[in-house]
Structure 1
Amino acid sequence: MKNIPFFTILIITSLCIIIAQGKLGEYVYIDYVTIEGLEYFKSHNLSSPSSALNSINSTALKALKNNQPYSVINTTVTPPNNNKQEYISYAPYFWPFCGCDGKNVTDPETQCLYKQIDGKVNGDVEILSDPHDSTSMVRDVLSLSISYLLYNDEDFAKKAVELLDVWFVNNKTRMFPDVNYGQVVRGPGEWKGRPEGILDTRLYVYIPAAIRILTNSNTWNHNDNIDKGVKTWFANFSNWLMKSELGKNESNAENNHATFYVAQLATYLNFTGRTKDANDLIGKFANTTFKDMILESGEQPKESSRRKPYHYQCFNLEALTYIAIFSQKINGTTNLWETKTKYNATIQNATDYLIHLNSTEDKTVLLPALYKVRDYYGDKFGVYADTMIKLLKETAGDSKWWTVYSPKSL
């Protein structure tokens, strides 16, 4: 694209995909949001709104009419400790095995052993409201914040602040700053959260971005508790991520779980005034876990061994590109774009590998990372642009979920 800030595209792209895809097990993206990109979008597109902008504003308008703010206390399943302020979700790939005939089983959740079938989502995880409400809360807060910036309507800011207050600040309705019951494996015995449950909060990286917008509103500046309350929540959540056994175990993962852990923690540390710690965290990741992630060919072995290898390699690439951009934005000492693994490979090698990989999986999941990779490395031979055009045509004609501009402008 010519003379169009790529961050603008990334903001609208990622948000529209959150709007379109809200269920567990579906691909929901994270991207770094910049006010500069949104200001550019505002000055160039409000006269003739795009489908993407209409989608964002439509979501914000619906949020204004929602009189039941999202809260963990509305959970459909009470956590094992009987405190509804604890977030709870079920491990999506675990299924009940009740013996040969399943006779005398009246409650599979407590009587049957649950075993993992990688990549196959157990549909009954959808009975839990917390994961859905968590995603919806982020979607609405960001939609409302962006609509406030674009249209300068204080009602959007007021509603966004209300949602933030209910989910993060109000002592009676807020989510506790932990994921102690994230991705629980059901079955006999005590139900405990798993390190993998930390993935559930990956969209919270959007909250600081939304707040950067909302700080210009009268609503934010006339509420003495909201700024301190949200930052306190994220400070406590950061400490939980670093000090809890679940957090420590997730940080020691070797795959996308570690990458998303770093993406989250670095964002929250920076948001709460600990930019140096965020920078140090990224530097440590670049010199340790990242070193084993990408082979010389560009393959990501920790992801390619999964049941959906293309999906998971794109998933990890998504978090890697987020960290790379985030490090740039905080003037970090680590340039993850140029960092090489011990196999002499970079993020670009991983992207090129996926472009040429013969796979029957949905390849459009590469698009968000592809925009960012092209932005940094350039596109001398037009391979990235050609791939984007091809993939956009595979989005069932609904390209508004992928970019605010038509493929012809690439």
Structure 2
Amino acid sequence: MKRILLLMASLAALVPASAQYSFNGELLDRLAEAYRKGDPRAVKAVEEVAAEADSTLLGMEPLTVTAKKQLPPSGDRRDYLSLSPYWWPDPSKPDGLPYIRRDGERNPEVYDCPERENGDRLGTVTRTLAVLYRVTGDERYAEKCAQLLRTWFLDPRLGMNPNMTYAQLIRGRQTIRGTGIIDSRRMAFALNAAQLIDSSPAWSDYDRRELREWARTFLYWMEHSVNGQKELHAANNHGLWYDAIRLMTARAAGLDDRVREIACESVKPRFAKQVAEDGTLPEELVRTLSLHYSTFVLEALSTARNVARAEGVELWEMPEAQRALEYLIPYYESPEKWPWPQIKPFAQRRGAALLYEAGLALDRPEWVETARCIGFHTSKADFEAMLHFELQ
């Protein structure tokens, strides 16, 4: 109740949510309104996440790309570095080099480069704090979110250089690769958080200008580097995530015209080519985690949609998007019936989240009901648990 009163007292300081985030702005509005009205489900979801934030997140040390022992080939600790997850030592070679691919099997050596996991945590924690701020008006959450963003992106000693040149390296192989750019979705998600705390005094005009410049520099690197040009032409989920990352970055850079251009001229034709007549995604069916990667493509489309919708682009209206969802629905309900390879369990809440968003967007109540039947079951206390309170 104390948090609800705080929300009502601070509403004037908050700007309405709009569909420009990496997640669905409509769900954020629904959460804020339900919480304000005292909906028990919304209150429970927010209070559980707030308790976790108060006990853990507010006191956490800022994450930084420089927290690593191994330096990238550049020798610059501020350059992002990660290893490609599905590549392993070759048992037929004395030194194991060059590494060979075992799709879907994660080599634990990837955790030797901590920025991959730290970047993932950054994206989750900053969005969780930002949503809590948006819903409750509690400035503590905005202040912590701002601190985390400044450290990762803007700190002159600790901040990440705006490139992904050394992302997903493969030991023993020197070829420049574009695939590592997909790691940057985690940092692009964090850019989302800055938009949500924009009304807070904790996020200054200087912060705003500097982060916009970081995003512009990163977008330029994405579109002009050899790595970026390789990923631009990827035919599978990597290509669509490349576009989704560009959209999030262009939004953070304040380049609204580029948002519409990327959505209409790249996302739409790219996605249309990836979906077969029967609704399958053939590029993903050859993977050992084919249900995961088929869903991963739609999650990229969802991310792109939620950014582009502010420019009047509704990507769920694409017939290919609806055809792909229709094909996947039975397997979201019963993953064990999936006829293609899936060597690890599939989290059904991912399918429920997609169906719920698309069902609301397209006025498809049968999809919304299916999402409710599947449910959004998670042990994590984060922004996704709050946004999907109606499915729990």
Instruction: Please indicate, yes or no, whether the TM-score normalized by the shorter chain is above 0.5.
Output: yes
Partner Cα separation in structure 2 for residue 389 and residue 47 of structure 1: 17
What is aligned with 1:99? 92
Q: Secondary structure at the match of 1:288?
A: helix
Is 2:231 aligned against 1:250?
Answer: yes
Is 2:121 aligned against 1:121?
Answer: no
CA contact (8 A) 1:42 1:150 kept: yes
Partner Cα separation in structure 2 for residue 259 and residue 299 of structure 1: 16
Is 2:155 aligned against 1:170?
Answer: yes
Q: Secondary structure at the match of 2:156?
A: coil
1:216 maps to amino acid: S
Structure 1 pair 96–50 and aligned structure 2 pair: CA distance change class (3 A): farther
What is aligned with 1:25? none
**Equivalent residue for 1:39, pick from 14, 19, 32:** 32
Q: Any residues of structure 2 matched to 1:385-396 within 5 Å, and which?
A: 385=368, 387-392=370-375
What is aligned with 2:317? 338
Deviation per CA, 1:348-370: give whole Å up to 9, x if none: 11011011343165261322211
Structure 1 pair 42–231 and aligned structure 2 pair: CA distance change class (3 A): farther
Partner Cα separation in structure 1 for residue 191 and residue 34 of structure 2: 20
What is aligned with 1:84? 77
Partner Cα separation in structure 2 for residue 126 and residue 45 of structure 1: 42
CA contact (8 A) 1:204 1:264 kept: no
Deviation per CA, 1:127-182: give whole Å up to 9, x if none: 22111111122222222222223333322222211111111111111000011111
Partner Cα separation in structure 2 for residue 378 and residue 224 of structure 1: 39
Is 2:360 aligned against 1:368?
Answer: no
- Percent sequence identity is 23
Is 2:67 aligned against 1:74?
Answer: yes
CA contact (8 A) 2:34 2:42 kept: no
**Equivalent residue for 2:58, pick from 64, 73, 85:** 64
Structure 1 pair 176–95 and aligned structure 2 pair: CA distance change class (3 A): same
2:318 maps to amino acid: T
Partner Cα separation in structure 2 for residue 339 and residue 291 of structure 1: 8
**Equivalent residue for 2:240, pick from 250, 259, 274:** 259
Is 2:294 aligned against 1:313?
Answer: yes
Q: Which moved more, 1:241-250 or 1:289-298?
A: 289-298
Partner Cα separation in structure 2 for residue 41 and residue 205 of structure 1: 28
Shift of 1:281: 1.3
Q: Any residues of structure 2 matched to 1:254-333 within 5 Å, and which?
A: 254-286=235-267, 288-332=269-313
Partner Cα separation in structure 2 for residue 48 and residue 388 of structure 1: 16
Deviation per CA, 1:298-352: give whole Å up to 9, x if none: 11111112112111111101111232333222224xx433334xxxxx2111011
Q: Secondary structure at the match of 1:182?
A: strand
Q: Secondary structure at the match of 2:29?
A: helix
Shift of 1:291: 2.7
CA contact (8 A) 1:33 1:209 kept: no
Partner Cα separation in structure 2 for residue 299 and residue 85 of structure 1: 40
CA contact (8 A) 2:71 2:77 kept: yes
CA contact (8 A) 1:93 1:117 kept: yes
Q: Which moved more, 1:385-394 or 1:365-374?
A: 385-394
Length, aligned pairs only: 358
Shift of 1:400: 5.4
CA contact (8 A) 2:295 2:351 kept: yes
Q: Secondary structure at the match of 1:159?
A: helix
Deviation per CA, 1:54-110: give whole Å up to 9, x if none: 3432343222212x311111113221221110011110010110426x4xx4xx5xx
* Structure 2, unpaired ranges of 5+: 1-16, 332-336
1:165 maps to amino acid: R
Q: Which moved more, 1:37-46 or 1:279-288?
A: 37-46
TM-score, normalised with respect to structure 2 = 0.82
Shift of 1:207: 3.2
Partner Cα separation in structure 1 for residue 125 and residue 213 of structure 2: 21
Partner Cα separation in structure 1 for residue 101 and residue 67 of structure 2: 28
Q: Secondary structure at the match of 2:104?
A: coil
Q: Secondary structure at the match of 2:210?
A: helix
Q: Any residues of structure 2 matched to 1:125-136 within 5 Å, and which?
A: 125-136=110-121
Partner Cα separation in structure 2 for residue 37 and residue 402 of structure 1: 8
